[in-house]
């Protein structure tokens, strides 16, 4: 290539790379594949290395950053960088609008409105359409030159698009999108590095790096929102300036709008506020600016803040407070959730005293202790959570050691005293108390009484709540001791508590009839089957089909309760995880007591000799189930076939004895046909099962 050709190729590559980068980082509308971008960048890099005479600090190759320069030089802002007055209430916004209406004499002035990003204010200077310098706000008059770091931010144009004025200073916010912040922190935690406190600190810290190669690794972005020094004529309004800046290649918030009147401003505030949690970046309010520049000039300034603009703040989502104690809550599934009781704090617009710690891993990661000063966050309607501990404020004893030891999750449930256990690979620790744990009791009772379990007609969620609430029922066995009088009394108390008054003779009769029916239904449920009982006990991961298989395999409750994990693993369909759960359940003394209490209350279930699957009609046969069945789930069909001696397999091969093909069976059925195997439809299966039931 001749020198001229090389120069042309370099210029062409730079233009194409700039275009691609603008489409990707500013317009969010990429048009070439990453690989193509990378190939062009590599070619440009090689050409620039071979021809240093064509070097340009604004070349796309320069966005990778370079080694430390020593320190940041001061930069005097030709036009001072402003700060904004704040409004926290609707009244303050109304006052702002009224003041402007009065002083401009305009009855309906227009305002440009935009979200207020929570990042770092920056001024960018362009000369002849090329980026020359960028600086932080500093004290508004003098900032620091962080050009090398700013060059690494892909949404900051290094060359302006189209006709640019000779001198142009653009102000805006450098911010770290939430997704990038989360990714950065996830990686930092993996590497054992210090995570960033929040996206704002992330942006500020990243721009303060002396080695811009580090900045280049940080996920930063930029939105333009104002001008500094500009040569030549300007549009007449702020909203037109924003449109003009977009045309020059800057990213401008897509949420900017022009609004009128206090109502218009407040509607904008509420609309953006409603989107706050879903936005890809943090915002702490919205900014209203009088749109017409001539009106801005008429309003002027007080100290360094313009009188023509105001920041309307959202309630802070983070606040500091202190930990009074760490507690745990046991949920309806036994999940043990640690949380902190805190000194009351105003956050996210409300006063709170509790914040969640989610789980034991989170407690360990944050290392929250009693007495600590913590940052809590409440975004939208979500439960407040602990974000971090301010380590410097941890209370110490006389010898300088922390006053309190690291917090440990309790080993026993605070509600029932049963062991709290956490299985390998699980985040959540659980109370093993099952039926006896009051926290889990309501849920356990509802499940126990449900139609497919013990089936107590008329005992729904509402009455279970009241029975537990008023203390009539503690464990499941208490159900079998309830009398008509108990139930009538309970209903009366529950109605009173709900504010229901009708104490008529008729109401009394209705209540008695209801109670008699319920007692009869409970009485009828005393006689059940082992498989229903096993399902009703609510052992984790023991659904109806596993309950059935267990009942068939053991034939009676006693041998099942005596079985260890090894013996349980021999049961068809029961893997190591479920075997461990079953063994755990029956090892828990509270659960054994609950079962004994059921028997003492007269509950009984059909027990028989265990079915000898080895002698079953399908002994030695391998069956594959495919497609959907109408009468039962595939799992249930599999369990029933196994109970008759079959081995149920997931794939069809020459060794398959029989394929049961349900609705919409596909490739397995085709393969079975190909191999000439015996194939049953659902009707054949049901007929066979009925014959051996």
Orientation of helix 178-191 relative to helix 199-207, angle to 10°: 80
For residue 118, the minimal CB distance to ligand JCF (Å) is 7
Q: Do the Cβ atoms of 75 and 34 come closer than 8 Å? A: no
Position 204 contacts ligand JCF (CB under 6 A): no
For residue 169, the minimal CB distance to ligand JCF (Å) is 13
For residue 120, the minimal CB distance to ligand JCF (Å) is 9
For residue 101, the minimal CB distance to ligand JCF (Å) is 21
Q: Kindly tell me which of 173 and 385 has the beta carbon lying closer to ligand JCF.
A: 173
Q: Kindly tell me which of 173 and 372 has the beta carbon lying closer to ligand JCF.
A: 173
Q: Kindly tell me which of 315 and 555 has the beta carbon lying closer to ligand JCF.
A: 315
Q: Which positions from 392 to 421 touch ligand JCF by CB under 6 A, shown as an x/- string?
A: ------------------------------
Q: Kindly tell me which of 60 and 228 has the beta carbon lying closer to ligand JCF.
A: 228
Residue 415 tokens read as: 């509600």
- How many other CB atoms are found less than 10 A from the CB of residue 606? 13
Q: Do the Cβ atoms of 144 and 135 come closer than 8 Å? A: yes
The one catalytic residue in 116, 154, 289, 491 is 116
Q: Kindly tell me which of 203 and 582 has the beta carbon lying closer to ligand JCF.
A: 203
Q: Kindly tell me which of 126 and 225 has the beta carbon lying closer to ligand JCF.
A: 225
For residue 251, the minimal CB distance to ligand JCF (Å) is 12
Q: Do the Cβ atoms of 444 and 465 come closer than 8 Å? A: no
For residue 111, the minimal CB distance to ligand JCF (Å) is 12
Q: Kindly tell me which of 272 and 672 has the beta carbon lying closer to ligand JCF.
A: 272
Q: Do the Cβ atoms of 36 and 16 come closer than 8 Å? A: no
Nearest to 216 by CA among 273, 155, 152, 279: 152
Q: Kindly tell me which of 84 and 456 has the beta carbon lying closer to ligand JCF.
A: 84
For residue 288, the minimal CB distance to ligand JCF (Å) is 9
Q: List the interface residues with ligand JCF, window 359-378 (CB under 6 A).
A: none
Q: In sequence order, what are the beta bridge partners of 125?
A: 133, 169
Q: Tell me if residue 93 falls in helix, strand or coil.
A: helix
Q: What are the C-alpha distances in Å from 272 to residues 112, 250, 323, 543?
A: 14, 22, 33, 46
Length reported for the chain = 693
Position 226 contacts ligand JCF (CB under 6 A): yes
For residue 226, the minimal CB distance to ligand JCF (Å) is 5
Q: How many residues bind ligand JCF (CB under 6 A)?
A: 11
- How many other CB atoms are found less than 10 A from the CB of residue 323? 22
CA atoms lying within 13 Å on the CB side of residue 393 = 14
Q: List the interface residues with ligand JCF, window 532-591 (CB under 6 A).
A: none
For 156-220, where are the E strands, in sequence order? 167-175
- Stretch (H or E) spanning 373: strand 373-377
Q: Kindly tell me which of 114 and 682 has the beta carbon lying closer to ligand JCF.
A: 114
Q: Which residues contact 352 (CB under 8 A, 6 or more apart)?
A: 342, 344, 345, 376, 378, 384
Q: Kindly tell me which of 44 and 227 has the beta carbon lying closer to ligand JCF.
A: 227
CA torsion 201-207-209-213 (nearest 10°) is 120
Q: Do the Cβ atoms of 152 and 216 come closer than 8 Å? A: yes
Q: What is the DSSP letter of 106?
A: -
For residue 116, the minimal CB distance to ligand JCF (Å) is 4
For residue 397, the minimal CB distance to ligand JCF (Å) is 43
Taking the C-alpha atoms of residue 538 and residue 535, their distance in angstroms, rounded to an integer, is 6
Q: Which residues in 158-185 are b (16+ Cβ under 10 Å) and which e?
A: bbbbeebbebbbbbbbbbbbbebbeebb
Q: How far apart are the first and last CA of the chain?
A: 88
Taking the C-alpha atoms of residue 43 and residue 49, their distance in angstroms, rounded to an integer, is 10
Let me know if 116 is a catalytic residue: yes
Q: List the interface residues with ligand JCF, window 309-368 (CB under 6 A).
A: 309
Position 429 contacts ligand JCF (CB under 6 A): no
Q: In sequence order, what are the beta bridge partners of 549?
A: none
For residue 581, the minimal CB distance to ligand JCF (Å) is 53
Radius of gyration for the alpha carbons in the chain, expressed in angstroms and rounded: 36
Considering only residues 225, 250, 269, 586, which one is a binding residue for ligand JCF as defined by CB under 6 A? Answer: 225
Question: Which residue reads 């079962």 in tokens?
Answer: 595
Q: What is the DSSP letter of 280?
A: S
Q: List the interface residues with ligand JCF, window 71-130 (CB under 6 A).
A: 82, 84, 114, 116-117, 121
Q: CA 191, 194, 195 angle in degrees (round to 5)?
A: 95
Taking the C-alpha atoms of residue 661 and residue 679, their distance in angstroms, rounded to an integer, is 7
Question: How would you classify the pairing of strands 120-127 and 257-260?
Answer: unpaired
Question: How would you classify the pairing of strands 429-431 and 335-347?
Answer: antiparallel
For residue 126, the minimal CB distance to ligand JCF (Å) is 19
Q: Which residues contact 642 (CB under 8 A, 6 or more apart)?
A: 549, 572, 573, 613, 648
Considering only residues 287, 328, 467, 530, which one is a binding residue for ligand JCF as defined by CB under 6 A? Answer: 287
Output phi, psi for 120, to 5 deg.
-130, 130
Considering only residues 173, 291, 531, 544, which one is a binding residue for ligand JCF as defined by CB under 6 A? Answer: 173
Taking the C-alpha atoms of residue 251 and residue 266, their distance in angstroms, rounded to an integer, is 25
Q: List the interface residues with ligand JCF, window 623-682 (CB under 6 A).
A: none
Taking the C-alpha atoms of residue 104 and residue 531, their distance in angstroms, rounded to an integer, is 82
Residue 82 tokens read as: 């402003």
For residue 312, the minimal CB distance to ligand JCF (Å) is 12
Residue 30 tokens read as: 């990429």
Active site residues: 116
Q: Give the footprint of ligand JCF on this chain (CB under 6 A).
A: 82, 84, 114, 116-117, 121, 173, 225-226, 287, 309
């Amino acid at each position: 290539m001749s020198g001229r050709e090389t120069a042309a190729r370099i210029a062409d590559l730079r233009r194409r790379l700039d275009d691609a980068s603008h489409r990707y980082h500013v317009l969010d509308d990429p048009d070439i594949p990453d690989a193509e971008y990378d190939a062009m960048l590599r070619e440009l890099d090689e050409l620039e290395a071979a021809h240093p005479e064509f070097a340009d600090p604004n070349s796309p190759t320069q966005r990778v950053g370079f080694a430390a320069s020593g320190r940041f030089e001061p930069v005097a802002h030709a036009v001072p960088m402003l700060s904004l007055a704040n409004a926290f209430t609707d009244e303050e916004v109304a006052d702002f609008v009224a003041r402007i209406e009065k002083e401009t004499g305009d009855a309906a002035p227009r305002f440009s409105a935009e979200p207020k990003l929570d990042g770092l204010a920056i001024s960018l200077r362009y000369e002849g359409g090329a980026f020359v310098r960028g600086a932080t706000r500093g004290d508004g008059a003098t900032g620091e030159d962080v050009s090398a770091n700013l060059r690494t931010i892909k949404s900051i144009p290094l060359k302006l698009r189209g006709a640019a004025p000779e001198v142009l200073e653009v102000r805006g916010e450098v911010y770290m999108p939430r997704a990038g912040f989360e990714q950065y922190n996830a990686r930092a935690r993996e590497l054992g590095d210090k995570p960033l406190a929040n996206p704002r600190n992330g942006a500020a810290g990243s721009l303060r790096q002396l080695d811009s190669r580090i900045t280049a690794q940080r996920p930063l972005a930029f939105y333009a929102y104002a001008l500094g020094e500009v040569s030549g004529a300007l549009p007449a309004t702020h909203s037109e300036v924003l449109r003009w800046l977009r045309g020059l290649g800057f990213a401008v918030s897509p949420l900017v709008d022009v609004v009128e009147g206090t109502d218009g401003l407040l509607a904008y505030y509420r609309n953006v506020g409603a989107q706050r949690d879903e936005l890809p970046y943090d915002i702490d309010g919205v900014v209203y600016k009088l749109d017409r520049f001539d009106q801005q000039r008429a309003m002027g300034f007080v100290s360094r803040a313009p009188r023509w603009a105001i920041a309307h703040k959202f309630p802070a989502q983070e606040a500091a407070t202190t930990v009074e104690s760490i507690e745990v809550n046991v949920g309806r599934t036994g999940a043990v959730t640690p949380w902190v009781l805190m000194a009351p704090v105003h956050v996210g617009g409300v006063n709170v005293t509790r914040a969640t710690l989610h789980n034991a891993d989170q407690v360990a990661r944050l290392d929250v202790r009693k007495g600590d000063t913590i940052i809590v966050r409440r975004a939208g309607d979500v439960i407040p959570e602990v974000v971090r501990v301010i380590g410097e404020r941890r209370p110490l004893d006389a010898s300088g050691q922390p006053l309190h030891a690291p917090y440990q999750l309790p080993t026993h449930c605070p509600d029932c005293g049963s062991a709290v256990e956490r299985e390998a690979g699980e985040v959540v620790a659980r109370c093993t108390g099952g039926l006896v744990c009051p926290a889990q009791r309501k849920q356990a009772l509802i499940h126990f009484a449900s139609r497919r379990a013990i089936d107590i007609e008329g005992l729904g969620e509402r009455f279970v709540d009241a029975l537990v609430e008023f203390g009539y029922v503690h464990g499941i066995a208490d159900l079998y001791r309830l009398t008509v009088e108990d139930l009538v009394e309970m209903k009366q108390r529950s109605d009173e508590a709900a504010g229901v008054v009708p104490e008529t003779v008729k109401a009394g009769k209705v209540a008695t009839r209801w109670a008699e029916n319920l007692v009869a239904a409970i009485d009828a449920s005393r006689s059940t089957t082992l498989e229903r009982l096993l399902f009703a006990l609510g052992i984790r991961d023991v659904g109806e089909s596993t309950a059935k298989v267990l009942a068939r395999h053991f034939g009676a409750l006693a041998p099942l309760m005596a079985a260890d994990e090894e013996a349980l693993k021999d049961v068809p369909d029961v893997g190591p995880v479920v075997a461990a759960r079953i063994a755990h359940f029956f090892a828990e003394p509270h659960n054994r007591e609950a079962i004994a209490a059921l028997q003492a209350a007269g509950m009984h279930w059909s027990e028989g000799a265990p079915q000898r699957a080895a002698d079953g009609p399908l002994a030695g046969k391998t069956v594959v189930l495919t497609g959907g069945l109408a009468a039962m789930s595939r799992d249930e069909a599999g369990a029933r076939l196994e109970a008759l001696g079959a081995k149920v397999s997931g794939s069809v091969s020459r060794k398959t004895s029989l394929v049961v093909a349900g609705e919409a069976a596909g490739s397995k059925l085709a393969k079975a046909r190909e191999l000439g195997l015996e194939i049953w439809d659902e009707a054949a299966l049901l007929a066979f099962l009925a014959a051996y039931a």
